[in-house]
Amino acid sequence: MNHLTWVAPDTGGSPITGYLLYRGTTPGGESGTPIATLAANVTVHNDTSVTNGVTYYYTLVAVNAIGDSVASVEVSATPADVPEAPSLSVTPAAAKNTITWSAFSDGGSPMICLTLLRSTTSGGESSPETATAMAVPRSATAGGSYVDYDLTNGVTYYYTLVAANWIGTSTSAEASGMPSADAATVPSAPTVTATAV
């Protein structure tokens, strides 16, 4: 929904009889047909026939017995949408996985929470019986990472990140990683000091 308000203009010497509200989806592209004809005492309108995430442009015309005013200065508003689905990647190490994601849009509505879900079966993150939930700071829409410790080496862990705002939720594609013990290597070279005597 887009919420529009205005202040009644100078009447031009003849009382305002109403307003005509015009809308478009491109700058200067308002339709020639008003989307609403409003009474003279109205200075607020809620445009509910909108699509979330689409920017709408509006102009308003005041009407009196003499005729129509020049259109108001154009204004725009974008109704909020669900957050953009984050994109995950997993980097395994010994007994841990590091899950990272790039910046994503909050959809124009404040974030409520970010929740990282983990399971040991593919798709199991969507089931409360098989998923482990980990809270992530809401500010992580700018990108971030989470280190999942104390994991079992040799087990594949599957993750999704759920982003929620006041409009709804979106879920990342699943990503996975298998922690493994660091492989043994030869020892490092000794440090030797020689002193002539």
**1 Cβ contact list (under 8 Å, min separation 6):** 46, 47, 48, 50, 79
Would you state the pLDDT for residue 126? Answer: 78
pTM: 0.66
Report d(CA 19, CA 40) in Å as an integer: 7
Task: Report all structural domains of the chain as residue ranges with CATH numbers, in order of start.
Answer: 2-77 (2.60.40.10), 88-177 (2.60.40.10)
The residues of the chain scoring below 50 in pLDDT are 183
Is residue 12 within a helix (H) or strand (E), and if so which, with residue range? Answer: none
Rg of the chain taking only CA atoms, in angstroms: 29
Q: How many helices (H) and strands (E) does the chain have?
A: 0, 15
Report d(CA 195, CA 185) in Å as an integer: 31
User: Tokens standing for 117?
Assistant: 């879900």
Report d(CA 166, CA 180) in Å as an integer: 39
User: Tokens standing for 100?
Assistant: 């990272």
Is residue 21 within a helix (H) or strand (E), and if so which, with residue range? Answer: strand 16-24
Instruction: Please check whether residue 70 is in contact with residue 125, taking contact to mean a CB–CB distance below 8 angstroms.
Output: no
Residues of 75-101 as b/e, b for ≥16 C-beta within 10 angstroms?
eeeebbbbbbbbebebebbeebbbbbb
Nearest 10 degrees: Cα torsion 137, 138, 141, 144 = 0
